[in-house]
Amino acid sequence: MADQPSEGRFVRPYAITGGRTDVDLDIDVATQIEATPRGVAAQSRYRWEAAQVIDVCRNPVALMEIAAALSLPLGVVRVVIADLEKDGAVGVHRPADEDLNSASYTELLERVLEGIRSL
């Protein structure tokens, strides 16, 4: 994509967001984002940065991975994703409440430990 410059690419990052930085900060850097079929279908109608986000997250990827792939600051990508989520163009995989209680947290750590040992 880097060799496909389009005019949007040269806009100052915070111009993309209209100066907004006050978005939903509950999107963690590791939160998985995935384009919806609706988002993929509508991709060509979005501006450069939003269209690129949809492209990068056809399979689930972390917020941080999207920012790195597009060379955009995290804060900017958060705003774009929050807008796309409102449109139903991407899904944000937020942790379920039951995943946050302590019993399932120790269970999660055990699975992580086993996973790292098996690498």
Partner 1 sequence: MRRTPVKIVVAGGFGVGKTTFVGAISEIEPLRSEAVMTDASTGVDDLTDVTRKTTTTVAMDFGRVGLGEDLVLYLFGTPGQGRFHFMWNELSRGAIGAVILADTRRLDDCFAAIDFFESRAVPFVVAVNTFHGARFHQLEDVRAALQIPATTPVGYCDARERHDVQRSLVGLVTHALVQARTEVPSA
As measured in angstroms, the least distance from the Cβ of 57 to partner 1 is: 13
Helix (H, G, I), strand (E, B) or coil at 75: helix
Site for partner 1 in 97-116 (CB under 8 A): 99, 102-103, 105-106, 108-113, 115-116
Regarding 15 and contact with partner 1 (CB under 8 A), the answer is no
Helix (H, G, I), strand (E, B) or coil at 96: coil
User: Using the rule CB under 8 A, which residue among 5, 29, 86, 87 binds partner 1?
Assistant: 29
Backbone angles phi, psi at 93, to 5 degrees: -80, 85
As measured in angstroms, the least distance from the Cβ of 45 to partner 1 is: 27
The H or E element that residue 17 is part of is: none
Cβ neighbours around 42 below 10 Å, total: 18
Number of residues binding to partner 1, judged by CB under 8 A? 34
